[in-house]
Chains A and B, each alone.
Chain A
Amino acid sequence: MSQWMTLFNKEVLEMWRNFKWIWVPITFILLGVSEPLTSYYLPQIIKSVGGLPEGAIFEMPKPTAGAVLASGLSQYSTFGVLVIVLGTMGIIAGERKNGVAAMILVKPVSYFSYVTSKWAGSLLLVWISLFIGYISTWYYTGQLFDWVPIGEFFQSFALYGLWLTVILTVTVFFSAALLSPGLAGFISLALALIVSILSGALSHLLEWSPSQLTSYAGALLTGGKLPSDTMPASLTALLLIVLFLWFSVFLFKKKELAA
């Protein structure tokens, strides 16, 4: 356990030294907060850039607070995913490629700890960044529109966190399985995209798909109720996380460290 903590502390310290603890939360704040701000100020923005043509009647319905928050949240399933994948794809592949993994793993370090400590470090970063970004969005939505109940905030936060964790774990898996960080990132992104599109298109067949967690969170914020498929989708997500993590360790163990 103390060895695991040593590895984990190193991950946290490294993210501090390369400023991930600064730029990832800031990115998440910007992504989320821009939504209530632009929705609220849109009439003024349109006016200030020249307005609508004479005679055009354009009634802009004021969106509900839930809808604004939901669309702020949806930023995280696109740009947020991109940030996570780009930030994590080199986590193991990079260390293996430059050789430092060989320096560390000739010490009596458990492969399981090596992989899981890296995963846990990124997990912490993702959840904290998501929380900071999302609660800022919630706050601005409350100030500019209406206050969304804090219970709904936490539920939708947890669902999104779970989906982002799936993405993170898949990226860690490809980072452990492949030698090239770029390739690991590309495959993870492509996979996330395909799963999201498929699950969206075939939502009546794939209601248990973890990528649907994002639409269920949206449904909660706009409709005030969680769809009944949230449970199976969450369970699939958890199962995938465990499986991919386990495969990461398994594959990594089998690889020769010196390329």
Chain B
Amino acid sequence: MSLIQIKGLKKSFQGNQVIKGLDFKLEKGKCIALLGPNGAGKTTTLRMLSGLMKPTEGSISFSEAKKDGDIRHLIGYLPQFPVFYDWMSGFEFLQYVGKLAGLTSKEAKERSLKLLELVGIIDAKNRRIGKYSGGMRQRLGIAQAIINRPQLVILDEPVSALDPFGRREVLELLERLKKETTILFSTHILNDAEEVCDEIIFLHNGEIVESGTMDDLRERHQQAKIDLIFHRKTEGMERTFRTHSLTKSILVDGNRISVFVTNVESARKEFLKLIYEKEWQLDKFEVSSMTLEDVFMKVVGK
């Protein structure tokens, strides 16, 4: 069931159109990544979804919005650079935000402690936020975004500012969150999206250039390529693959032969049989899987 439907979403700043008409749906319980280079319009899109900005044109409809269109009880939002009251402690801030979101004092307290534990800053709960490190602020930011168990959690570049360790931990946190709620997060780091997301929306210059599940994308952009690495390469091998009926073209690089084929499935069988029969010493056989980076370069490049 779709949680949100976005139709013809446009946004202009002083006549400069930044978002040029987006249409997409978010399904309940999915994790969706909004990918794109800097300036693609990711932050603007997320701000419109969270209600912080009004679209110039188009509609964002939540299936469970209130009658007056207020959707704030349904979402949790973490901006790219979260700001807190630095004079509060992390624990105080979470309780404050929890109570604002409608929890009772007791609920807010319990929920805050649980979340501090979950995001791993329980030891710093009574320290002033002004003294938190960047990673701790980001975690506190995630905790405050999910305090009222929102149906949709919107995270703007949640891992971009973190070091590799912090990044890993936040991604694991997202992995866990995924089981409870719908997540929409933006990033320009392709690996992050690939790691935790089910679906991907590519944004470029304010337009969706590609979208779908990881499998869809792979299928669509899969290049039929087989990488072979031999222990010792001979002239005969190169010639054999070059003239094979399934081969479109080959690339040779040291002991590696990359063969672009017309049909991966039959090439896999044929090649293995061939190598076995000729008793070539094979080190590695790989049917290349398309990475997001390849897709990204491909869709953005044109």
Chain A residue numbers with a CB within 8 Å of B76 are 106
CB distance from A218 to the nearest CB of B (A): 39
CB distance from A91 to the nearest CB of B (A): 13
Chain A binding surface, main DSSP class: helix
In-complex Cβ contact of B85 among A6, A100, A257 (8 A): A100
Chain A residue numbers with a CB within 8 Å of B102 are 3, 108
Query: B167: CB under 8 A from chain A?
Result: no
At the interface with chain B, which of A10-18, A184-192, A198-206? A10-18
Query: B143: CB under 8 A from chain A?
Result: no
Query: B267: CB under 8 A from chain A?
Result: no
Chain A residue numbers with a CB within 8 Å of B77 are 103, 106
A230-259 contacts to B, CB under 8 A, are 256-258
The answer to whether A14 touches B87, judged by C-beta atoms less than 8 angstroms apart, is yes
A252 to B59, CA, bound (A): 23
A102 to B84, CA, bound (A): 10
Give a binary string over A90-111; 1 marks a CB under 8 Å from any B CB, 0 the rest.
0000000011101111111100
Closest B residue to A17 by beta carbon equals B87
At the interface with chain A, which of B2-10, B47-55, B186-194? B47-55
**A100 and B83 in contact, given A6-B96, A108-B101, A256-B54 (Cβ under 8 angstroms):** yes
**A102 and B52 in contact, given A18-B87, A107-B148, A108-B72 (Cβ under 8 angstroms):** yes
**Chain B interface residues toward A at CB < 8 A:** 47, 50-54, 70, 72-73, 75-77, 79, 81-85, 87, 96-97, 99-102, 144, 148
Give a binary string over A16-60; 1 marks a CB under 8 Å from any B CB, 0 the rest.
011000000000000000000000000000000000000000000
Number of interface residues of A (CB under 8 A): 22
CB distance from A195 to the nearest CB of B (A): 34
The answer to whether B83 touches A98, judged by C-beta atoms less than 8 angstroms apart, is yes
**Besides A98-B83, A106-B72, A108-B100, 20 other CB < 8 A contacts?**
A3-B100, A6-B96, A6-B100, A10-B85, A14-B87, A17-B87, A99-B83, A100-B84, A102-B83, A103-B82, A103-B83, A104-B100, A107-B101, A108-B70, A108-B102, A256-B54, A257-B52, A257-B53, A258-B47, A258-B79
Chain A residue numbers with a CB within 8 Å of B87 are 14, 17-18
